[in-house]
């Protein structure tokens, strides 16, 4: 009898330990699909499809009990966040529900709260025994300007009680007339007062307006993927570089150059960072920021871009990095720990040339900096060797989350497929 009591206590203890001792292996019942869910992964890894489609998925979070929360860019049956549960423990979703009447991208989960963003607000719900308490909904940031281009709000939390919100620029290059040939760049660019950066808010104060936040970093055209790196205590993000160099300046850039410029930038954001948009763009072939043609640049001259903050890594153009995740789990081999996973949603602005992206990359890290080149970690999403048009892609990797056992979860923006990647 006493033995059972002790066993029960031990079981209860494990049941309620949120993240103290993280498991290093997925449960034996969780097995990779025979075809790895259609993904191509490095040796030793396996993939399984958790759900075939939840809707137009954006970012994702996974709770300590394994429940999966997926944000949607378009309401499904009037709801904007889908909850997937795995009741029999085989890794596949066998029960789903949804809550919240607002669509959007951002999601962040702690053991106490689930934060979710629409394009105009950030709200949070209290977590009760691993479930969202819908009645507890509080508005944290409200009244944000609604706009289409780069209007989605991604969010991240640090360990000091701050909430970071991305404010993408409603513009390509801050021209007087957006994306119009011959239209000059506005100087100074008025968009930077309220957009084109990341703002920091109090994660625990209700009803903050945009003006209550601090402009934490600026000169950033658009960020969709960002993450707080717990190992270094710093915020990192992926910038989407500008489009259409050849459409707007055909005399300076041919279609090949326009397909390869500028870099998609991996940024380390410090308070006061300025990465130079719209005046500058990063050229990974010259390894520097150069003056944008809208501001008199010729593709080489740096001028005012010389002092702007540089990326910690530069990726090929237009790949659209839509999620960033620093891996803190113990399931994957040690070299993955504290490294970065990046979802490249896939390009469109390389047409008529072959598109790029459509995979999940891994970047090894040491001392808060990339310690090697990027590696293709997961590919096969789009369903073909070559994607000519984005619309041909069967799936596009969009969101990333880490499960309590160190599994990696990936969402798809086309049908909302959800994969889980495990190490076997």
Partner 1 sequence: MKNNILIFPLFLAGILCFSWKEMPENQGVSFLKTNAVPDSGKIIYETYCLACHQEDGSGVPNMNPPLVQTEWVLGDSTRLINVILKGLKETEINGDSYSNEMPAHDFLTDKQIAEVLTYVRSNFGNKASGIKEEDVRKVRAKK
List, in sequence order, every residue forming a beta bridge with 47; answer none if it has no partner. Answer: 421
Least distance between partner 1 and beta carbon 389 (Å): 4
Q: Applying CB under 8 A, does 78 fall inside the site for partner 1?
A: no
Check: CB of residue 175 under 8 Å from CB of residue 163. Answer: no
Stretch that binds partner 1, among 76-84, 264-272, 326-334, 390-398 (CB under 8 A): 390-398
Using CB under 8 A, pick the residue from 55, 57, 63, 73 that binds partner 1.
73
Q: Applying CB under 8 A, does 162 fall inside the site for partner 1?
A: no
Q: Applying CB under 8 A, does 186 fall inside the site for partner 1?
A: no
HEC profile of the chain: CHHHHHHHHHHHHHHHCCCCCCCCCCCCCCCCCCCHHHCECCCCEEEEEEECCCCCEEEEEECCCCCEEEEEEEEECCEEEEEEECCCCCCCCCEEEEECCCCCCCEEECCCEEEEECCCCEEEEEEECCEEEEEEEEEEECCCCCCCCCCCCCEEECCCCEEEEEECCCCCCCECCCCCCCCCECCCCHHHHCCCEEEEEECCCCCECHHHCEEEEECCCCEEEEEEECCCCEEEEEECCCCCHHHHCCCCCCHHHHHHCCCEEEEEECCCEECCCCCEEEECCCCEEEECHHHCCCCCCCHHHCCCCCCCEEECCCCCEEEEEECCCCCCCHHHCCCEEEEECCCCCCCCCCCCCCEEEEECEECCEECCCCEEEEECCCCCCCCCCHHHCCCCEEEEEECCCCCEEEEECCCCCEEEEEEC
Q: Applying CB under 8 A, does 389 fall inside the site for partner 1?
A: yes
| Token digits of residue 47 | 């993939």
Least distance between partner 1 and beta carbon 172 (Å): 9
Q: Applying CB under 8 A, does 100 fall inside the site for partner 1?
A: no
Nearer to partner 1, 105 or 338 (CB): 105
Size of the site for partner 1 (CB under 8 A): 30
Using CB under 8 A, pick the residue from 185, 225, 390, 416 that binds partner 1.
390
- C-alpha gyration radius of the chain: 22
**391-420 mask for partner 1 (x: CB under 8 A)?**
xx--------------------xx------
Check: CB of residue 132 under 8 Å from CB of residue 140. Answer: no
**359-388 mask for partner 1 (x: CB under 8 A)?**
-----------------------------x
Least distance between partner 1 and beta carbon 179 (Å): 5
Using CB under 8 A, pick the residue from 88, 178, 207, 287 that binds partner 1.
178
Nearer to partner 1, 2 or 177 (CB): 177
Q: Applying CB under 8 A, does 287 fall inside the site for partner 1?
A: no
Q: Applying CB under 8 A, does 351 fall inside the site for partner 1?
A: yes
**107-146 mask for partner 1 (x: CB under 8 A)?**
----------------------------------------
Query: Distance between CA 21 and CA 256 in Å, rounded?
Result: 50
Stretch that binds partner 1, among 16-24, 129-137, 174-182, 325-333 (CB under 8 A): 174-182
- The footprint of partner 1 on residues 53-72 (CB under 8 A) is 56
**197-216 mask for partner 1 (x: CB under 8 A)?**
--------------------
Stretch that binds partner 1, among 83-91, 127-135, 148-156, 404-412 (CB under 8 A): 148-156
**221-260 mask for partner 1 (x: CB under 8 A)?**
----------------------xx-xx--x----------
| Token digits of residue 199 | 């703002």
Least distance between partner 1 and beta carbon 242 (Å): 13
What does the CA dihedral 364, 370, 376, 377 come to, rounded to 10 degrees?
A: 30
Q: Applying CB under 8 A, does 264 fall inside the site for partner 1?
A: no
Write out the residues near partner 1 by the rule CB under 8 A. 56, 73-74, 147-151, 177-182, 243-244, 246-247, 250, 348-349, 351-352, 388-392, 413-414
């Amino acid at each position: 009898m006493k033995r059972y009591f002790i066993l029960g206590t031990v079981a209860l203890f494990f049941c309620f330990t949120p993240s103290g001792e993280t498991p290093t292996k997925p449960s034996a019942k969780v097995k990779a699909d025979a075809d790895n869910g259609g993904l191509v992964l490095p040796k030793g890894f396996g993939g399984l499809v958790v759900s075939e489609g939840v809707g137009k998925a954006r970012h994702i979070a996974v709770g300590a009990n394994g429940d999966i929360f997926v944000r949607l860019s378009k309401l499904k049956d009037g709801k904007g966040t889908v909850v997937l549960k795995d009741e029999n423990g085989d890794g596949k979703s066998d029960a789903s529900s949804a809550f919240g009447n607002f669509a959007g991208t951002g999601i962040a989960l702690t053991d106490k709260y689930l934060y979710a963003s629409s394009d105009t607000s950030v709200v949070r719900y209290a977590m009760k025994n691993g479930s969202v308490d819908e009645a507890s909904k509080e508005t944290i940031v409200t009244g944000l300007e609604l706009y289409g281009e780069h209007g989605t709000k991604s969010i991240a939390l640090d360990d000091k009680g701050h909430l970071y919100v991305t404010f993408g620029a409603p513009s390509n290059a801050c021209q007087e007339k957006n994306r119009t040939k011959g239209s000059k760049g506005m100087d100074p660019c008025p968009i930077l007062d309220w957009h084109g950066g990341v703002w920091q808010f109090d994660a625990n104060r209700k009803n903050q307006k945009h003006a209550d936040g601090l402009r934490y970093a600026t000169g950033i055209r658009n960020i969709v993927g960002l993450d707080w790196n717990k190992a270094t205590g710093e915020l990192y993000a992926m910038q989407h570089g500008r489009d259409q160099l050849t459409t707007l300046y055909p005399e300076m850039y041919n279609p090949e150059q326009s397909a390869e410029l500028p870099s998609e930038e991996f940024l380390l954001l410090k308070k006061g960072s300025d990465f130079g948009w719209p005046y500058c763009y990063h050229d990974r072939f010259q390894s520097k920021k150069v003056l944008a043609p809208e501001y008199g640049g010729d593709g080489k001259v740096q001028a005012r871009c010389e002092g702007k903050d540089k990326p910690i890594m530069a990726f090929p153009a237009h790949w659209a990095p839509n999620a960033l995740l620093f891996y803190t789990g113990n399931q994957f081999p040690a070299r993955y720990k504290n490294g970065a996973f990046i979802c490249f949603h896939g390009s469109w602005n390389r047409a008529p040339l072959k598109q790029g992206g459509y995979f999940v990359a891994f970047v090894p890290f040491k001392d808060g900096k990339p310690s090697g080149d990027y590696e293709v970690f997961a590919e096969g999403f789009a369903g073909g060797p070559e994607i000519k048009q984005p619309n041909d892609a069967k799936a596009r990797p969009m969101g990333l989350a880490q499960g309590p056992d160190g599994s990696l979860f990936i969402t798809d923006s086309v049908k909302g497929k959800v994969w889980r990647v495990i190490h076997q």
